[in-house]
């Protein structure tokens, strides 16, 4: 599949800069793969579409991973924590990175908020050591230019396990009341920034997807495995479930790359936001909904002025 097959033109004003007033007030574009019916609903009407489904959500929590630091010489450095490696060590992105050296300490507001540079990994990536827990700002996507008045709006209402560099955005639409109306289970996958990295290869298959850590409790997997129908909330949940059904351990890393032609074994319906062009996320949606139906749905969403990306509207594929 050519990378250009994942392109589409989006008017900039459709990139949502702030969340909807109410989480469940977003719009919901529903597509039934069997009948090819398309329905336009509000997210609060989701339960009416889901008779018989077990809903599975990703309970990861975004860490305040964007750190504004300075060198001892006075120059400013931004460090973005990408993934906890072990204990106090993290993989991180630092910029500007060219003059940084292993062993150097970057200073924060106080001793507890500083970072030690341990080892360069190339391309601006470093292994760093923190004195305590991350205490920076939420790492909002670069296409969001307004910081939410309430930072919790970039967390799902069921976020429990800190570890992500980005929110699993399909879940941002749920309220506690709406979730309580659904039979649901949780898994955990800590979202890395490479999930959103645009393809730089000529074909989709040439792209190297970055692995991400996940964990699923045995009790949850037993219910998921036995359920008649599964709704996966988001591409991250989808990758966890399709990894486990292929024999993956209950805790580990997944680099499962889902592209058109993939045979889904455990996900029967997908709830997702509208994704950036030329990304692995859009490739996954095309794998589930079909390449041409996805293009048609995105074209419809643009005509109908749906809101796109992290704080945007949602799509349900049955």
Q: Are residues 123 and 252 in the same domain?
A: no
CATH number at residue 120: 2.40.10.240
Q: Are 306 and 14 in contact (CB under 8 A)?
A: yes
Task: Give the integer Cα–Cα distance in Å for 32 and 1.
Answer: 24
**pLDDT bracket for residue 168 (50, 70, 90):** very high
The alpha carbon of 221 is separated from its chain's Cα centroid by a whole number of angstroms, namely: 21
pTM, two decimal places: 0.94
| Domain edge (last residue) among 106, 130, 154 | 130
- Position 307 pLDDT exceeds 80: yes
Task: Give the integer Cα–Cα distance in Å for 195 and 108.
Answer: 28
Domain limits at 242? 3-62+140-317
Q: Are residues 114 and 79 in the same domain?
A: yes
Mean residue pLDDT across the chain: 94
Q: Are 235 and 35 in contact (CB under 8 A)?
A: no
Q: Are residues 55 and 78 in the same domain?
A: no
With respect to residue 135, please indicate whether it lies within any of the assigned structural domains. Answer: no
Q: Are residues 13 and 93 in the same domain?
A: no
Q: Are residues 95 and 242 in the same domain?
A: no
What is the number of domains present in the chain?
2
Task: Classify the C-alpha dihedral 49-51-56-59 as positive or negative.
Answer: positive
- Give the percent of the chain with pLDDT over 90: 84
Kindly list the strands in the beta sheet with 27-31, ordered across the sheet, starting from the edge strand earlier in the chain.
38-42, 27-31, 314-317, 269-273, 229-233, 53-58, 184-189, 212-215, 251-254
Q: What is the pLDDT of residues 254-293, one digit of tens each?
A: 999 999 999 999 999 999 999 999 999 999 999 999 999 9
DSSP state of 247: T
Task: Give the integer Cα–Cα distance in Å for 37 and 31.
Answer: 6
* pLDDT, position 74: 87
Secondary structure class of 60 (helix, strand, coil): strand
């Amino acid at each position: 599949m050519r990378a250009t097959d994942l392109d589409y033109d989006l008017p900039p004003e459709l990139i949502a800069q702030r969340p909807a007033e109410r989480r469940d007030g977003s719009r919901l574009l529903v597509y039934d793969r069997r009948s090819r019916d398309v329905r336009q609903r509000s997210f609060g009407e989701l339960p009416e579409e889901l008779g018989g489904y077990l809903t599975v959500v990703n309970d990861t929590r975004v860490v305040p991973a964007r750190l504004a630091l300075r060198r001892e010489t006075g120059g400013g450095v931004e460090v973005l924590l990408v993934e906890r490696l072990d204990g106090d060590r993290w993989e991180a992105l630092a910029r500007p990175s060219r003059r940084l050296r292993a062993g150097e300490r970057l200073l924060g507001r106080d001793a507890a908020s500083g970072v030690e540079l341990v080892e360069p990994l190339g391309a601006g990536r470093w292994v760093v050591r923190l004195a305590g827990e991350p205490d920076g700002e939420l790492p909002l996507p670069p296409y969001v230019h307004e910081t939410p008045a309430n930072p919790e709006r970039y967390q799902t209402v069921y976020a429990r396990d800190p570890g992500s560099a980005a929110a699993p955005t399909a879940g941002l639409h749920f309220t506690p009341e709406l979730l309580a109306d659904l039979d649901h289970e949780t898994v955990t996958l800590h979202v890395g920034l490479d999930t959103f990295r645009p393809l730089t290869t000529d074909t989709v298959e040439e792209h190297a997807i970055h692995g991400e850590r996940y964990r699923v409790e045995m009790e949850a997997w037993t219910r998921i495995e036995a359920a008649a129908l599964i709704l996966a909330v988001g591409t991250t949940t989808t990758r966890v479930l399709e990894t486990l059904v292929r024999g993956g351990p209950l805790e580990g890393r997944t680099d499962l790359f889902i592209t058109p032609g993939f045979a889904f074994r455990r996900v029967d319906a997908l709830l997702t936001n509208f994704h950036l062009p030329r990304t692995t996320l859009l490739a996954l949606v095309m794998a589930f909904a079909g390449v041409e139906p996805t293009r048609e749905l995105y074209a419809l969403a643009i005509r109908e002025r749906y809101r796109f990306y992290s704080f945007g509207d949602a799509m349900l594929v049955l």
